[in-house]
Amino acid sequence: MHVEASAPGKMILFGEHSVVYGKPAVVLAIDRRARVIAEKRTDKKIFVDADNLGFSGYFEGDIYYPVRGKVWRGRNLAALNVAAKKTMEYIGVEGGANLKVRSMIPIAVGLGSSAAICVATVAAVERLFDANLKPEEISNIAFEGETIIHGKPSGVDNNVSTFGGIMSYDKTNGIKRHKLYKDIPFIIGNTKKKRSTRKMVEDVAALKERNPKEMDAILDSMGLLAESGLDALLKTDLDRIGDLMDLNQGLLTAIGVSTMKLEILCHTSRNNGALGAKLTGAGGGGCMIALAMEPDIPN
């Protein structure tokens, strides 16, 4: 017998980098999902087949044995191993599982692929053992898998992947879920350049250290854009959202996290009818998002 679960990726609409300094961020689930198919094993191994990501292998405890792909790929799969083992530990069962991962979310481009896979893994394993966990429990266990990859994640990604919809987050107030009553037509453009979030955050921190007053002003402005953007989003004010996205992109360019490919994607989108466009995530590569009315989406 096998069971299946899936979870969506995410995009940051407002708040990249400024969220590190206590400003709010606005994050949305996207309609690209990670799917995990699980079945029980008679031993305690966790076998992971991530064929469309180019690697597979199994874990005995914390030790990874590759079947396809390089040994270092085990770092990418370790989060799934933790998510699966922590789920079994939480529900009080022992055993192993075969996990088949099929993800439509590109990795390492800021779209929350690791969180989506962790959430789908937890959901699939708990269904495999008929645990009937609550969404909050699934999110919390998936968070433990996320820490393997990101160290100290905010918890936004696993929450968005679990609950969907839209969320805001800041260090003081934590995570708050919001309701959208209408789909917003965003388009994602991928530069196909993977980037290191840690390096981009460190680069911005170094710029802030050299120019504290000027950077404080920019980060404050980013925080204001996030607050205004959330308000516009909840009112489905598309024209205003587009304006705020363009302003945010200007500030992200000013702090050095945009690239020529991202700028070309943004300008091309605007020239073909997009109401606004900006990078999403840490920058330095990754993805751009554009807001477009339905008739302009093909362009």
DSSP 199-260: HHHHHHHHHHHHSHHHHHHHHHHHHHHHHHHHHHHHTT-HHHHHHHHHHHHHHHHHTT---H
pLDDT at position 6: 98
Residues 65 and 78 sit within 8 Å (Cβ to Cβ): no
3-state secondary structure of 107: coil
Residues 248 and 280 sit within 8 Å (Cβ to Cβ): no
Tokens 């995410």 locate to: 10
3-state secondary structure of 97: strand
| Active-site residue identified among 49, 157, 203, 243 | 157
pLDDT at position 198: 80
> Which helix H or strand E contains 148, and what residues bound it?
helix 135-150
What CA–CA distance (Å, rounded) separates 105 from 124?
18
Find the length of the chain: 299
Tokens 């995530």 locate to: 281
The domains of the chain are located at 2-178, 186-296
How far, CA to CA in Å, does 286 sit from each of 46, 176, 282?
30, 26, 8
**Considering only CA atoms, which of 282, 295, 297 is closest in space to residue 109?**
282
pLDDT at position 100: 96
Determine whether 237 is an active site residue. Answer: no
pLDDT at position 296: 60
| Spans of the chain below 70 pLDDT | 70-76, 294-299
Residues 165 and 177 sit within 8 Å (Cβ to Cβ): yes
2-178 belongs to CATH 2.60.40.10? no
> Which helix H or strand E contains 69, and what residues bound it?
none
Residue 134: what residue type? K
Burial 272-288 (b: 16+ CB within 10 A, else e): eebbbbbbbbbbbbbbb
Q: Which CATH architecture has domain 186-296?
A: 2-Layer Sandwich (3.30)
pLDDT at position 146: 87
pLDDT at position 72: 56
